[in-house]
Amino acid sequence: MSLVETGFGRVDDNGNIYVVDSGVERLIGSQPELSPENALALYVKKYDDLAASVRLLEQRVKAKADAKSINKSAEKIIADLKEPMAIGDLASLRERVTAVQEGIASLLAESVEKHAEEVKAALIAREEIVLQAEKIAAQDPQKTNYKVASAKMLELFTSWQALQKSSAKVSKKVADDLWHRFSKARNTFDSHKRSYFSSQDALVKASKNAKSDLVAKAEALVVKGGDAAVAYRDLLAAWKTLPKTKTKADDSLWAKFKAAGDAIYAAKTAKVESDNIAFAANLKIKLELLDEAEKIDVSNLDSAKTAMKNIQARWEKAGKVPRDSIRKVDDRLKAVEQKIKGIEQENWRKTDPATIDRTNSVRSQLESSIAKLETELAQAQQSNDAGKIAKATEALETKKAWLAVVIANG
């Protein structure tokens, strides 16, 4: 005869505890040292704990908490409810757990789908990082801005590390393949960078040596003053063919080279100014000679040539004129010389036997043609043929015009 019992279990006289589970009584423990009431309360408390776990599970499913964690909790509760050492409505707890399992399955499916999307997004993000790194590595090493490109490579590497820590895990094979491509691009870029700066160092050194040599030559020219201007321009042309290295040494060398050039050009300017003053009297003489030359009477060729020769002799004796007047006075003298030469050539042409023969031959042919056309015109006039008269008249006038030209140039 039990001392204490409930609708779900009892405690007998010997302190044995029984639970009624699905209509079957099952021994779940023995507590002879406790009073029946306390022994029963102990196992009811265990039931309450199980009920609290089930209630928490239901709340987590409703709140759509982490599916894997919920499923793990559900599996533990199911195991705990298999033959629990607790007194209470165990069947009801099992039913409640069964009722939420469909929700857990739905959450698991959503979790799998979400994880797949996260994996896809993680792969896309990593692929984009790889593509950007490969694009940088594929740039022309001689045209790459290494300051900008290096900063971008570091940014990509930092982003890769962040993805490894925070993004969804991807398959090892795919991750390894992407990392291999990324690493290869970084190594290629680093190799290009090292080669570029190595070549730049050599270029800077060669440029520095070449420019130092040009500076020495330019400074050596300074003692020659303005006469060294042409030689300095040659050195400047050579300087411009050398690369700009954007170094302090380059700036310093250019300052020295330019200073030498400034000194040479200053000396040249001073010399020109001095020459202009010294040559001013010469210019006055030559301007007077030009006025005399331009008034030469060319109707008598021999006399004109003699006068011109006299002027040319005095011209040479007069000496140099200021630089800005050279072109002007030379052009005026040449114009007079060309005028006399042109008249001489024309006279020679007219007295040349071959020219005279050609002129006489053409003249004879034209006179013969004119005589023939005059006869044709007379015949056309007698016949009163207007068409023939007009045609013969036009032809006759043309031949007479040609004859006039030949006679004028004969």
pLDDT tens digits along 111-128: 777 777 777 888 888 889
Q: How many other C-beta atoms lie within 10 A of the C-beta of residue 176?
A: 11
Q: What is the pLDDT of residues 178-220, one digit of tens each?
A: 889 989 999 998 999 998 888 777 777 788 888 888 889 888 8
For residues 316, 319, 321, 325, the Cα torsion angle rounded to the nearest 10 degrees is 0
Instruction: Assign 51 a pLDDT band (cuts: 50, 70, 90).
Output: very high
Rounded Cα–Cα distance for residues 267 and 224 (Å):
9
pLDDT at 46 over 90: yes
Separation of first and last alpha carbons in the chain? 170
Residue 159 amino acid letter: S
Instruction: Assign 263 a pLDDT band (cuts: 50, 70, 90).
Output: confident
What average pLDDT score do residues 374-385 get? 82
**Highest mean predicted confidence (pLDDT) among 54-58, 207-211, 333-337:** 54-58
What average pLDDT score do residues 147-172 get? 86
The radius of gyration computed from the CA coordinates of the chain, to the nearest angstrom, equals: 59
Rounded Cα–Cα distance for residues 109 and 115 (Å):
10
What is the pLDDT at residue 334?
92
Task: Tell me the pLDDT of the chain averaged across its residues.
Answer: 84
Instruction: Assign 44 a pLDDT band (cuts: 50, 70, 90).
Output: very high
Picking from 319, 295, 321, 320, the residue whose alpha carbon sits closest to that of residue 307 is 295
**Highest mean predicted confidence (pLDDT) among 128-137, 245-254, 276-285:** 128-137
**Sequence-distant contacts of 227-230: CB under 8 A, at least 24 apart:** 227/268, 228/264, 229/264, 229/265, 229/268
What average pLDDT score do residues 334-362 get? 74
383's enclosing H/E stretch is none
What tokens does 297 get? Answer: 């009477």
The domain ranges of the chain are: 4-114, 115-200, 211-351, 353-409
- Which percentage of the chain shows pLDDT scores above 90? 25
What average pLDDT score do residues 145-153 get? 91
CA distances from 378 to 173, 366, 392, 393 (A): 116, 18, 9, 10
CA distances from 186 to 147, 163, 172 (A): 15, 17, 21
Instruction: Assign 283 a pLDDT band (cuts: 50, 70, 90).
Output: confident
Which of 39-53, 247-261, 266-280 comes out lowest in average pLDDT? 266-280
pLDDT at 354 over 50: yes
What is the pLDDT at residue 274?
72
pLDDT at 362 over 90: no
Q: Pick 270 or 58 by higher pLDDT.
A: 58
What average pLDDT score do residues 274-300 get? 83
Which of 40-44, 106-110, 135-139, 151-155 comes out lowest in average pLDDT? 106-110
DSSP result, 173-192: HHHHHHHHHHHHHHHHHHHH
Rounded Cα–Cα distance for residues 334 and 347 (Å):
20
In terms of pTM, does the model score above 0.75? no
pLDDT at 177 over 50: yes
Rounded Cα–Cα distance for residues 226 and 264 (Å):
5
pLDDT at 364 over 70: yes
Instruction: Assign 3 a pLDDT band (cuts: 50, 70, 90).
Output: low
What is the pLDDT at residue 4?
63
CA distances from 291 to 14, 315, 326, 328 (A): 158, 12, 16, 13
Q: Pick 35 or 174 by higher pLDDT.
A: 35
What is the pLDDT at residue 1?
36
Q: How many other C-beta atoms lie within 10 A of the C-beta of residue 70?
A: 22
